[in-house]
């Protein structure tokens, strides 16, 4: 009996072990086809990867596939974050761990909406999360917007950051003054790149064509224009501090803009108070100093009315602004035109008044007014099994931590719906296998994460040769050639 017992115990002890080993093996080989929830994420930017991260961590039977239009992952961390902010790009390390997770698959070079429809994804997966961001920009809707020398900040940022669709932008920086419309962090990024010493930019992953153009730049003055006052400015303090600390660049502010606001200062919440105090301190210390070769400054209470052409009628030579006054106070104050106007001379206008999401598929609800997918805490309105996270969910604002929290929120909601049975997990879903077959039929070849890593290595190698952390490929064709080499 004792022997039998012992044998029994040994088997009991070994069984789970061998089962676990088998399980591990089979999962590695065919993780896309086994039972368990399958979720697909549309968009391989921060929102997509943070959503994936939370889902993978919460359930160890969950398979998450990430679809991305470009062959390269990380969205605006690669194409939006300024090249001189490499610290922010550290989030890529965590995204890479997520993508390398044994239950996560990256499908780059797949355009959801054209290569595969959202309907097809919904059929193949238990849930679909839209996190494709905001690819368009809000337009100023003023005459002269089409003149040469007028750019959207989104295109300008895409150009210096190597977004393939912006590689032909060719901005000529042969003017002294640039006017940027909008006072958010993107506006300040653009201003900083225009005014930074070339030696600093040379050590970043800014594209070589941007570096060459900036080397020949004649830009010496950047004015950053906002429709409301200093107390409503949208940028954050770190970016203002960076402007103040730019070498050989003076702050050119108008002291009158700050005269009436010291009264309101004491009642402000800390972040707004510190930002305002920093600007006021800059006005005081900088006025009367003209030793620097370059300058930047905020211009408040101005809205664009018309971009003015030069004598040739083709290129921008200035901008006409409406002078505003504020109605109400605090964050909700409204800019109201006074009827007065003011012209500013400039050789370049960059509009940085916000990004905008676009509808992806006719079957997905879209609110054209707010340019988001209408949702309740990440659940897409009237569409079971469809979720959203990031900018397409809440609009194009906030820092990376905002998108992180917002993506975790959506993931929590999705998990809750799985637990409650609102999402039916009893049906097996084919997941990535079915979509891969569909794509093959349509002649679309996806870029896997290991294939992206080949692109990554090559970019880093090219960068190292010129003293940069990376030299990005600007052409999708070149990316694919390396990925599939």
Q: Which residues bind another protein (CB under 8 A)?
A: 50, 53-54, 57, 85, 87-88, 90-91, 93-94, 97, 236-238, 241, 270-271, 274-275, 376-377, 379, 381-382, 399-401, 404-405, 408-409, 412
Q: Three-class SS of residue 18?
A: helix
Answer for the pair 177, 194: CB distance below 8 angstroms, yes or no. Answer: no
DSSP string, 214-259: HHT----EEEEE-SS-GGG--S-HHHHHHHHT-TTEEE---THHHH
Alpha-carbon gap, residue 218 to 205, rounded angstroms = 22
Cβ 168 to another protein, closest distance in Å?
31
Q: Which is nearer to another protein, 203 or 412 (CB)?
A: 412
Q: Which is nearer to another protein, 100 or 260 (CB)?
A: 100
Known binding-site residue numbers for FAD: 47, 68, 76, 112, 391, 398-400
Q: Which is nearer to another protein, 145 or 277 (CB)?
A: 277
Q: Which is nearer to another protein, 281 or 440 (CB)?
A: 281
Looking up tokens 């003054």 gives: 177
Answer for the pair 318, 142: CB distance below 8 angstroms, yes or no. Answer: no
Q: Which is nearer to another protein, 310 or 398 (CB)?
A: 398
Cβ 332 to another protein, closest distance in Å?
19
Alpha-carbon gap, residue 53 to 43, rounded angstroms = 14
Q: Which is nearer to another protein, 171 or 230 (CB)?
A: 230
Neighbours of 217 (CB within 10 A): 16
Known binding-site residue numbers: 47, 68, 76, 112, 183-186, 227-228, 239, 391, 398-400
Separation in Å, CA 263 to CA 213, 260, 276: 45, 7, 12
Cβ 399 to another protein, closest distance in Å?
6
Cβ 31 to another protein, closest distance in Å?
18
Cβ 297 to another protein, closest distance in Å?
21
Cβ 122 to another protein, closest distance in Å?
17
Question: Angle at the Cα of 306 (from 81 to 347), degrees rounded to 5?
Answer: 60
Paired with 344 in beta bridges are 319
Give the residue from 97, 298, 111 showing the smallest Cα distance to 188.
Answer: 298
Tokens (6 digits) for 345: 């001379």
Q: Which residues contact 212 (CB under 8 A, 6 or more apart)?
A: none
Q: Which is nearer to another protein, 178 or 388 (CB)?
A: 388
Give the residue from 452, 361, 356, 450 showing the smallest Cα distance to 115.
Answer: 361
Cβ 418 to another protein, closest distance in Å?
15
Cβ 52 to another protein, closest distance in Å?
13
Give the residue from 255, 276, 259 showing the smallest Cα distance to 267.
Answer: 276
Known binding-site residue numbers for NADP(+): 183-186, 227-228, 239, 398
Kind of pairing, strands 221-225 and 375-376? Answer: unpaired
């Amino acid at each position: 009996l004792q022997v039998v017992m012992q044998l029994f115990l040994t088997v009991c002890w070994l069984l789970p072990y061998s089962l676990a080993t088998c399980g591990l093996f089979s999962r590695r080989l065919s993780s896309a086809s086994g039972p368990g929830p399958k979720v697909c994420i549309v968009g391989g930017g921060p929102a997509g990867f943070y959503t994936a991260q939370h889902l993978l961590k919460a359930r160890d039977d969950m398979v998450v596939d990430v679809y991305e239009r470009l062959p390269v992952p990380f969205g605006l961390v690669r194409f939006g974050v300024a090249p001189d902010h490499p610290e922010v790009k550290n989030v890529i390390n965590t995204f890479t761990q997520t993508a390398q997770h044994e239950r996560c698959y990256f499908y780059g070079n797949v355009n959801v909406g054209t290569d595969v429809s959202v309907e097809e994804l919904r059929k193949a997966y238990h849930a679909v999360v839209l996190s494709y961001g905001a690819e368009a920009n809000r337009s100023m809707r003023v005459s002269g917007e089409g003149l040469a020398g007028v750019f959207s900040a989104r295109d300008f940022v895409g150009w210096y950051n190597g977004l393939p669709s912006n590689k032909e932008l060719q901005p000529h920086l042969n003017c002294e003054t640039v006017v940027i419309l909008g006072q958010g962090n993107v506006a300040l990024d653009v201003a900083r790149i225009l005014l930074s010493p070339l030696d600093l930019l040379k050590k970043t992953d800014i594209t070589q064509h941007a570096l060459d153009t900036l080397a020949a730049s004649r830009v010496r003055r950047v004015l950053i224009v906002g429709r409301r006052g200093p107390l409503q400015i949208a940028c954050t303090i770190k970016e203002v501090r960076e402007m103040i600390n730019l070498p050989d660049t003076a702050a050119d502010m108008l002291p009158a803009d700050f005269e009436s606001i010291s009264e309101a200062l004491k009642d402000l919440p800390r972040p707004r108070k510190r930002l305002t105090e920093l600007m006021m301190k800059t006005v005081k210390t900088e006025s009367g100093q003209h030793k620097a070769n370059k300058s930047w400054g905020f211009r408040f209470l101005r809205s664009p009315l018309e971009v003015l052409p030069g004598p040739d009628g083709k290129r921008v030579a200035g901008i006409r602004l409406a002078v505003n006054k504020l109605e109400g106070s605090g964050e909700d104050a409204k800019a109201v035109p006074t009827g007065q106007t003011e012209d500013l001379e400039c050789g370049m206008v960059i509009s940085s008044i916000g990004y905008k999401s676009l509808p992806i598929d006719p079957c997905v609800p879209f609110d054209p007014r707010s340019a988001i997918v209408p949702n309740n805490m990440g659940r897409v309105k009237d569409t079971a099994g469809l979720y959203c996270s990031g900018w397409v969910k809440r609009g194009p604002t906030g820092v990376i931590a905002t998108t992180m929290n917002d993506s975790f929120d959506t993931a929590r909601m999705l998990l809750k719906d799985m637990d409650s049975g609102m999402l039916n997990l009893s049906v097996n879903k084919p997941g990535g296998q079915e979509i891969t077959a569909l794509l093959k039929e349509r002649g679309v070849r996806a870029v896997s994460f290991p294939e992206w890593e080949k692109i990554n290595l090559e970019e880093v190698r090219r960068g190292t040769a010129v003293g940069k952390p990376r030299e990005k490929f600007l052409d999708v064709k070149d990316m694919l050639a390396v990925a599939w080499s």
